[in-house]
Structure 1
């Protein structure tokens, strides 16, 4: 025996179908838009490039505003590389390095010379791993 859907289920069906249509239509809204001014100074917007004109690229942010072009994009800073370099600088310095063993946010004791040397070696290895063109400054 087949069971017919209940009325609340049937009421939800049009909304569900409309939602699915919107989800599948989203890529259509991500089309490239071209803007140009004609000889009279009138701005035109189109999804195809202007006829017989040079195209100048422009980057837009998510709010529709223009983003100023940069001459050369800087590489993203690798957080692991930054942390390893920072750790090495502290470990090679002359100040006491404390450690929080119970993770309560308060230092419990200072590193001894052996632990400091081990952590310095570890920081140097991390720099070689995480930093491009890594050069480890060995001092102290």
Structure 2
């Protein structure tokens, strides 16, 4: 059997949740502007206050990053079309029986013959060539 929550405790819990929500909403306000400028000697300075002479300072909003970038983020992102084209080509180059679902019922209407599979493979190769950018050689 559950006991009802006393009204005073319910008010305290509501106040706590409301306070936590307000604090969470106020967090973006804590991120301030950062000023960047170069002095007469060409040294770049960063500060939370503008430079004393108000010269050619640039103001930027700094957003803190969490964690480290993953390896997949470091690689050049492929387009969704390129990924699909590569996946289709890989499946067509395999040995699994494949077919086309013309009536969109979720099942292949018939299995590809070797000629149909070869034609679809050529189309998939053309799609990869069209949608995927060639790898850029590393600078030396």
- Report the TM-score when normalising by structure 1: 0.48
Compare relative contact order (CA 8 Å, sep 6+) and give the higher one, 1 or 2: 2
- Report the TM-score when normalising by structure 2: 0.48
